[in-house]
Structure 1
Amino acid sequence: MRCCRPFTRFAQALRQPPRQRHGAAVALAALLVLTAPLAGCASKPEPTVRFVDSVLVRKGDRTLQLLHDGDVHREYKIALGDSPVGHKFEEGDERTPEGDYVLNWRNPNSNFHKSIHISYPNARDRAFARAMDINPGGMIMIHGRPNWLTSPAVAREYDGRDWTDGCIAVKNHEMDEIWRLVRDGTPIRILP
């Protein structure tokens, strides 16, 4: 490698008589100071992701993935509604919807540690609800734990079970990261 050649020369200089070695040591010190910014010159730093371009939820696996260019950038364990199996059809069924939606607005002052709204019900959900003469519900969010929850022991209990009314819940520090990486208008796909 090109950036390692000076070190090869230094190794050769160490084989010289003691008086000549002193000059090599001084040269090495100068070399290290001058090349320190080039450390790791053989590889480029990984690009940082400022925003993700989609979100994928797998209800059965209890995971939420943030995707960038089709690759998983981050993955979180999630909690769902008290009746997590199946698509949400009406208000109060405590199910999380399934399908394609958009994360369309956010609330920094919600009853939970931040919340990002999922665009449920979409046109298909509303048409089905009209045909069945039911209220499809709404206000489905990705959010953190309840704001009143301050006990670490109780928080651990929340993290290990489904407890929402149909929303998708994560730990508070994870919600902070999601909040930072997901822009309004980001598509979300929720799979069974």
Structure 2
Amino acid sequence: MNILQYGMQHVRRAAVLALSTFAHNKPNLIKGLLPELLPLLYDQTVVKQELIRTVDLGPFKHVVDDGLELRKAAFECVDTLLDSCLDQLNPSSFIVPYLKSGLDDHYDVKMPCHLILSKLADKCPSAVLAVLDSLVDPLQKTINFKPKIDAVKQEVDRNEDMIRSALRAIVSLNRISGGDCSLKFKNLLSEISKSPSLRDKYYSTRNE
């Protein structure tokens, strides 16, 4: 536990990966520890400004986020725990602020967060429904994001993958009974239906 609090980020990432392995293979060994471990795990999903640095590459400046891999591993660990230790988790304390923040993070973090949101919509719909309004903005931002005009094919393809990933989460949210109580979510669905590109992707995703 001390490692998750005080270790270097690569050590904390190794601890998170070990926790994921136990959660997948031997969940009974960690269930009793989860009340103490979960707050520490959730803290690893938060963007740490002190781990973000700018590297000067001559005429260019490149931003390096040394905490990215740790955040990604932490969310993937939560995803595993949802499958093996759901009865030990309190989804409400995780969705806001942690999952909400992850939905607005880097591509590598958003992807597992979309999967987590889909699972929560299926397994804990009431917890998701209670905060549905607050989840709309990051999803809307993701599906409307446009790469730069000079973006390379890899960047364009990654963005398309991210849009489809977000749309899968939106499809799952739309299956929740009572989801139409959220005006913001209804407006998001309306926006998707009015965009030929998004509408086609949405229905394609729904039929997967």
* Higher RCO, 1 vs 2 (CA within 8 Å, ≥6 residues apart): 1
- When normalised by structure 2's length, the TM-score is 0.20
In terms of fraction of residues, the more strand-rich structure is: 1
Greater Rg, structure 1 or structure 2?
A: 1
